[in-house]
Structure 1
Amino acid sequence: MIDEQDSTAAGDTFISHLVELRNRVMKASAAIIVVFLGLMPWAGKIYDFLALPMMSALPVGSKMIATGVITPFLIPVKVTLLVAFVIALPVVLYQAWAFIAPGLYAHEKKLVAPLVVSSSLLFVAGVAFCYFFVFGVIFKFINEFAPKSITVAPDIESYFGFVMTLFIAFGVTFEVPIVVIVLVRMGLITVEKLKQIRPYVIVAAFVIAAVITPPDIMSQLLLAVPLCLLFEVGLIVAPMFAKATEAPEETEEETV
C-alpha cells in the first residue's frame, strides 16, 4: 500500500513537472513570437543591416542576388526570427531559470545563475565582434582578391548561411571561459593542468580558426587570438568562481 502511494506521488510529481515545463516553454515561445511579429514590418531593413558589411566592401552600386522564387521573402524572415530570439533571450533565460531554480541548493544557484547570464552575454559579444569587426576585414579581403574580370554579386541565401556559420563560430569561441570554469569547478581538471597544456590549446585554436574561417591569415588570427585570450581569462576567473560557489560541506572540510 505504501509503495503504491509512493508510486502515485512520484507520478503526480513527474506530471506536475511536465506541466510546469510546458508552461515555461509556451511563455518563452510567446515572447519570441510577439517580438517577431513586432519586427516583421522591418524585416527588409533588418536584413539590409545584416548585409551592410558585405555591401560596404563591394563597389558602389553593387547588389546581392536571389536565385530562389521565395528567397527574397524567406531569408529576411529567418533573419528577423533570429533577431527576435536574441531580443527575447532574457525572457527565455528567466523561464529556464524559474523552472530549475526550485530544485537547486543555495550554492548551486550561485553556480548556475552567473553561468547562464555570463554565457549569454559572451555569446552575444562574440556575434557582435564578428559583425562589427571581423566581417569588415574578411569581405574587404575577398573583394580585393577577386579578379577584375568577375562581378561579385553574392546570393542572399549563401550569404545568410555564411554569416550564420561565423556567428556561431565566434559566439561559441567566446564561451571558452565558461568551459574552463565549468571543467575546473566540477573537478574534471585543475588550473595547473590547463596551464601545462597551454601550448596545445594555442595550436588547437589556430587549427580550428584555419578550418572555420576563409583561407586568409587575417581572419584566422581574428578567431584564434580571441580564443587564446579568452582561455587565459578562464584560467584567471575559474579559481575565484570555484571558491565563491563552494557548498557548505566543502568549506567545512577545508576548514577541518
Structure 2
Amino acid sequence: MDEQKQPLTSHLKELRKRLILSFIAVVTGFIVCYAFSQDLFDILSKPLLKMMPSGSSLIFTSVAEAFFTYMKVAFIAGIILTSPFVLFQVWAFVAPGLYRNEKRYVIPFVAAGSFFFVLGILFAYFVAIPVGFKFLLGYATDFIKPMPSMKEYLSFSIKFLLAFGLVFEFPVVLVLLARIGVVDAKTMARHRKYAILLIFIFAAVMTPPDIISQLLMAIPLMGLYELSIILSRIFGKKKKVDPPPSE
C-alpha cells in the first residue's frame, strides 16, 4: 500500500472505531433510559399539567401511541445521557489534526456551548413553556376542554426545548465570529436595531403563532445579543495598532 493511501485507510479505521463506540454508547443509554421512560415523561409533562384544570391528564389516541412515545423519550434521553462520551469520541478523532492554538480554543467553546444550551433548555422548561401554555390554555371554556395527546405534547415540547437550547447558543457563535475577526463589538452595537428586527422575525418563525411565545423567545435573545457585545469586547480579536512613523 502506498504512502498516500495508508493515512486515509488509518483515518477511516479510526472513524469506524469512534462511530461504533458512539453507537454502542447511545444504544446502552437508550436501554437504561427506557427503564425510566415513564418517569421522564412525567417530568416533561409537568409544565403542561400544572396549567390544566385539576384532575386533567394526557391521552393517547392510538393503541401503540403510548409505547412509541416512551420509546422516543428513552431515545432522546439516551442521546443526552451519552452526549459527553460521544463528544469525547468526536474530539479523539479530530484532535490529532488540530494545531496547538486551535486545541486551546476548542475546549472553552465546547464548554460554553454546552452551558448555554442547557441554560436555554432550563429557561424553556421553567419559564417559557409554563407561561406559553397558560396563555394558550386560556382559550378553553366550559364547552371547550383541552385534551392534548402524549404524541402531540412530546413533539411540541421537544421542539420548544431544542429551539431555546439552540437560541441560547447565540453568544457563543457571535463571540467565536468576533474571535476570528468576522465581526466586532462596535459593528454589533452599531447594527443593534437591525438585529432586534431579525430577532423578532426569527422568534415569530420558531414559536407558535401567539405574541406571548414570540416575546418569550425574543426578549432573552435581545439580552443574549447585548451579552454577546460585552463578551466580544473582552474576547474578540484585538486589532493591531500600527506604530507611529519614525521621524
Is the TM value for this pair above 0.5? yes
Match of 1:228 in 2: 222
Q: Distance in 1 between matches of 2:204 and 2:233?
A: 31
1:112 has 2:101 as partner: no
Matched-pair contact (CA < 8 Å) for 1:47–1:76 = yes
The SS at the match of 1:88 is helix
Indicate which of 129, 135, 139 corresponds to 1:145: 139
Query: How far 1:239 sits from its partner (Å)?
Result: 4.2
Q: Distance in 2 between matches of 1:85 and 1:192?
A: 39
Q: CA separation of 1:202/1:154 partners in 2, compared to 1, >3 Å: closer, same or farther?
A: same
Match of 1:96 in 2: 90
Query: How far 1:166 sits from its partner (Å)?
Result: 1.0
* CA-to-aligned-CA distance 1:147-187 (integer Å, 9 cap, x gap): 33112110111111111221121111101011102222232
- Could you say which structure has the higher helix fraction? 1
Query: How far 1:254 sits from its partner (Å)?
Result: 8.0
The SS at the match of 1:9 is coil
Q: For the aligned residues, what is the CA RMSD?
A: 2.3
Q: Distance in 2 between matches of 1:254 and 1:239?
A: 20
The SS at the match of 2:35 is helix
Q: Distance in 1 between matches of 2:11 and 2:203?
A: 42
Match of 2:4 in 1: 10
Q: CA separation of 1:254/1:161 partners in 2, compared to 1, >3 Å: closer, same or farther?
A: farther
Matched-pair contact (CA < 8 Å) for 2:128–2:213 = yes
Matched-pair contact (CA < 8 Å) for 1:97–1:113 = no
* CA-to-aligned-CA distance 1:7-29 (integer Å, 9 cap, x gap): x2221111111111111122222
Indicate which of 28, 31, 49 corresponds to 1:34: 28
Indicate which of 132, 138, 144 corresponds to 2:126: 132
Matched-pair contact (CA < 8 Å) for 2:184–2:232 = no
The SS at the match of 2:41 is helix
* CA-to-aligned-CA distance 1:197-233 (integer Å, 9 cap, x gap): 1111111112222232233333222111111111122
Q: Distance in 1 between matches of 2:152 and 2:229?
A: 38
Match of 1:189 in 2: 183
Q: What letter is aligned with 2:109?
A: L
Indicate which of 51, 71, 85 corresponds to 1:57: 51
User: Structure 1 length as normaliser, TM-score?
Assistant: 0.87
Query: How far 1:135 sits from its partner (Å)?
Result: 1.1
* CA-to-aligned-CA distance 1:112-162 (integer Å, 9 cap, x gap): 221122112211211111111111111111222223311211011111111
Q: Distance in 1 between matches of 2:9 and 2:232?
A: 38
Unaligned regions of 5+ residues in structure 1, if any? none
1:46 has 2:73 as partner: no
Q: Distance in 2 between matches of 1:43 and 1:192?
A: 48
Matched-pair contact (CA < 8 Å) for 2:31–2:74 = no
Matched residue count: 244
Indicate which of 68, 89, 107 corresponds to 2:62: 68
Q: What letter is aligned with 2:62?
A: G
